[in-house]
Amino acid sequence: MVLAGIDLGGTNIKAALVDGNLKLIAKSSIPTNAGRDARQIIADMAGQVISLADKAGLSRADISGVGIGIPGVAKDGNVIALHNLHWHNVALLRIFKEFLDVPVFIDNDGTVAAVYEYHLGVLAGCNVGVLLTLGTGIGGGIIIDGKPFSGAHGLGSELGHMTLIKDGLQCTCGNKGCFEVYASATALVRYGRQIVIERPESLLHHAAGGDYRSVTAKMVMDSAKDGDIIALRVIDDYSDCLATGIASIMNSLDPEVIALGGGVSAAGDFLLNKVIAAMDGKGVFAGQKYADIRIAKSGNDAGLIGAAMLAK
Amino acid sequence: MVLAGIDLGGTNIKAALVDGNLKLIAKSSIPTNAGRDARQIIADMAGQVISLADKAGLSRADISGVGIGIPGVAKDGNVIALHNLHWHNVALLRIFKEFLDVPVFIDNDGTVAAVYEYHLGVLAGCNVGVLLTLGTGIGGGIIIDGKPFSGAHGLGSELGHMTLIKDGLQCTCGNKGCFEVYASATALVRYGRQIVIERPESLLHHAAGGDYRSVTAKMVMDSAKDGDIIALRVIDDYSDCLATGIASIMNSLDPEVIALGGGVSAAGDFLLNKVIAAMDGKGVFAGQKYADIRIAKSGNDAGLIGAAMLAK
């Protein structure tokens, strides 16, 4: 059995072939060229899988199924909304099958990442598991009873848009005070830039060469790790925001494990310990067992392999 | 088939017998006398069911099962936490069966109310349905795939303790800024009291006879309905808090229907229209279909019949 996984991003379309044991056979990446017609992009997605199969000496008939992860909302094979590409109600499944007629499965990339963690990572064995990807925004993926869960309309698991502070800072979604405004990598960069501008004595100021535009989330983390007490305070505040959002998830979905993925999670135990410390006092029932918080296994090909898993 | 439902409250223990069609056969209510030993309270719960059966000319063997709704957290027949009665890790199922040895099912009263709505109310037919009970606090009940959902540790569906305003007002749970601090009946009373104290020209001030201690949630609602623009502003703010919490639920659980129950929901369409209006701009994906918000069917015996349904 050969499965294909596609990770459709605003910048690149990545594709991979995996075997029945989800081992990578081949992968490739091509530019999305986001301005194009949806049909052209979808043709390229299918073409990329066909090309990978050709190079591997496989025929189209060898491909048992294709899974596609998208940074947006899909329901019943249709893309309801994919803001990066300005897609609304695009019949992705139907059009894809015009080019490559195999079973096709489509889901949100946060859900795909959660599926990966459930099969090969830190959500393994969970009845209820949640993944948060801490990147440009905060993506969410939910597993319930071993299956991806995205609600009744495919709009669920948008965990980055749970409210953290009612009437707080403006979010890109149009609402205010969303979780991701305070706890994404973008938020960390915003906090870091403020330090560079206001605190020239900080290590972070020096790390950024005094230029607030060069601040990255990693730079803020690294400065804090290196003992910059100003950056450290920012990481403490950031961790407290993350812990508050996590508490809301515990009080609604009550998962066994909450996995932290995405760029910020590269900080590993340094971040994890801060978040766990910040959880203190945030549970409704003192002394009860709540979710374990863990750093996601993820890795470079998680999005591709997770997508292929949708088709398994 | 005869089933029993028990609604264990901090003030009263209510019990009912229902037939196989969930029609009420008989019901009763006795004081909980909350200070007593858990064992005595549980003996009274079982005794009440036996007494109802006796009066109805039924034997113990006629009772196919007992469902118990509690204002706390239960898991696998044990009460993990029930703050009103200061219960922690009480083996409710085991002790109950010493007095009445029938199949026993225990769940949170918010979940019980959601089960009722799923079978006989406004959550009927939902794959994913959520109930919010707007009372002293905000209780939550979640239905997923036709079954009650309370997470991996039985701590889920505590929707009143999702955060609305990080570091906001103190909540009884120990955390700050919980949803229920701003959108329960208790919150509405707090807002109303402030009006009575600060705005003697308001209708609400007169309705309360100038005494802030006599304010009820219904009084605030009624004053707003009667055109008190000061009370009306409070109801608008209250509805906006409710809508913000609902948006968080839409972005995580994405239900087909969110039902509003509990005392405050008696305001019916007046409240419903305000909440629906306040949802505007709070959805992540403009123009998409989100949950219908509805007033729960509930009614006086919903807690009892819902509890009996646990045993069906």
Largest CA distance in chain A: 63
B245/A163 CB distance under 8 A: yes
- Report the gap between the CA of A95 and the closest CA in chain B (Å): 22
Residue range B242-253: mean pLDDT, rounded: 97
pLDDT band at B285 (very low <50, low <70, confident <90, very high): confident
User: Which segment of A190-204, B177-191, B281-295 scores lowest on mean pLDDT?
Assistant: B281-295
Domain that holds residue A134: 125-295
pLDDT score of A272: 98
In a domain, B11, yes or no: yes
> Is there a domain that residue A120 lies in?
no
SS3 B204: helix
**What is the pLDDT at residue A33?**
93
User: Do A265 and A305 belong together in one domain?
Assistant: no
Do A174 and B284 lie within an 8 Å CB cutoff?
Answer: yes
Task: Give the pLDDT confidence score for residue A299 in this predicted structure.
Answer: 76
Claim to verify: residue A22 and residue A147 sit in the same structural domain = no
Identify the pLDDT of residue B97.
Answer: 97
Structure-block tokens of residue B157: 């569906």
- A128 at B interface, C-beta within 8 A: yes
Q: Could A151 and B290 be called an inter-chain contact, meaning their C-beta atoms sit closer than 8 Å?
A: no
Name the least confident of A251-255, B172-176, B298-302: B298-302
Nearest chain B Cα distance for residue A60, angstroms: 36
**Each residue of A241-285: pLDDT tens digit?**
999 999 999 999 999 999 999 999 999 999 999 999 999 989 887
pLDDT at B66: 98
pLDDT at A35: 87
Q: How far is it, in rounded angstroms, from Cα B41 to Cα B24?
A: 24
Calpha distance A296→A195 (Å, rounded): 29
Q: Which pTM was predicted?
A: 0.92
Buried b (16+ CB within 10 A) or exposed e, A143-179: bbeeebbbbbbbbbbbbbbbbbbbebeebebebbbbb
Which of A70, A78, A165, A248 is most worth mutating to test chain B (most B CB atoms within 10 A of its CB)? A248
**Structure token digits, residue A93:** 């499944």
Q: What size, in residues, is chain A?
A: 312
Q: Retrieve residue A173's tokens.
A: 């979604």
Please identify which residue in the block is written with the tokens 């028990």: B6
Residue B119 lies in a domain: no
Strand partners, B175: none
Q: Which tens digit of pLDDT belongs to each residue from B18-75?
A: 999 989 999 999 999 988 999 999 999 999 999 999 999 999 999 999 999 999 889 8
Same domain, A285 and A179: yes
C-beta atoms of B252 and A157 within 8 A: yes
User: Quick check: A57 contacting B, CB < 8 Å?
Assistant: no
pLDDT of residue B156: 81
B82 part of contact set with chain A, CB < 8 Å: no
Average pLDDT value over all residues in chain B: 94
Answer whether residue A92 is part of any domain. yes
Specify whether B161 is located in the same domain as B70: no
| Nearest Cα to Cα of residue B19 among B75, B54, B58, B47 | B58
Neighbours of A13 (CB within 10 A): 21
Is residue A47 assigned to a domain? yes
Asked if residue A279 and residue A171 are part of one domain, the reply reads: yes
Same domain as B53, residue B198: no
Can you tell me the distance from the alpha carbon of A82 to that of B285, in angstroms, rounded to the nearest whole number? 10
User: What pLDDT score does B83 carry?
Assistant: 81
**Residue B289: predicted pLDDT:** 83
One domain, residues B156 and B110: no
Residue reference for tokens 């809301």? A248
Paired with A259 in beta bridges are A131, A294
Measured distance CA(A240)–CA(A246) in Å, rounded: 10
Question: First vs last Cα of chain B: how many Å apart?
Answer: 10
Q: Which of A54, A56, A17, A49 is nearest to A30 (CA)?
A: A49
Average pLDDT along chain A, 312 residues, taken 10 residues at a time = 94 94 94 94 97 95 96 91 89 98 95 95 96 94 94 89 97 93 96 96 96 97 96 97 97 96 95 97 82 91 93 88
- Residues 6+ away with beta carbon under 8 Å from A228: A202, A203, A204
Residue B1 pairs in a beta bridge with none
Q: What is the pLDDT of residue A255?
A: 97
Do B270 and B225 contact (CB within 8 A), yes or no?
yes
CB B96 within 8 A of CB B42: yes
What tens digit of pLDDT does each residue of B206-238 get? Answer: 999 999 999 999 999 999 999 999 999 999 999
Tell the burial category of A61 from Cβ atoms under 10 Å away from its Cβ (0-12, 13-18, 19+): exposed
Count chain A–chain B contacts defined by CB atoms under 8 A: 162
Does B52 lie in the same domain as B12? yes
What pLDDT is attached to residue B298? 84
Going by C-beta distance under 8 Å and a sequence separation of 6 or more, which residues neighbour residue A23?
A: none
A119 phi, psi to nearest 5 deg: -85, -35
In terms of DSSP bridges, do strands A138-144 and A128-134 run parallel, antiparallel, or are they unpaired? antiparallel
Q: Which residue of B has its CA nearest to A278?
A: B175
DSSP labels, B141-175:
EEEETTEEE--SSS----GGGSBSBTT-SB-TTSS
The CATH number that applies at residue B60 is 3.30.420.40
How many domains does chain A contain in total? 2
Is residue B286 scored above 80 in pLDDT? no
Does residue B157 form part of some domain? yes
- Identify the bridge partners of residue A104 per DSSP, sorted by sequence position: A66
pLDDT attached to residue A147:
92
| pLDDT beyond 80 at B300 | no
Q: What is the pLDDT of residues B140-157, one digit of tens each?
A: 999 999 999 999 988 888
In a shared domain, residues A160 and A264: yes
pLDDT at B270 over 90: yes
Residue B12: strand pairing partners: B31
One domain, residues A86 and A132: no
Give the strands of the sheet with B12-19, arranged side by side: B24-31, B12-19, B2-8, B63-70, B104-108
Distances (CA, A) of A248 to A144, A284, B131, B208, B248: 17, 10, 17, 36, 9
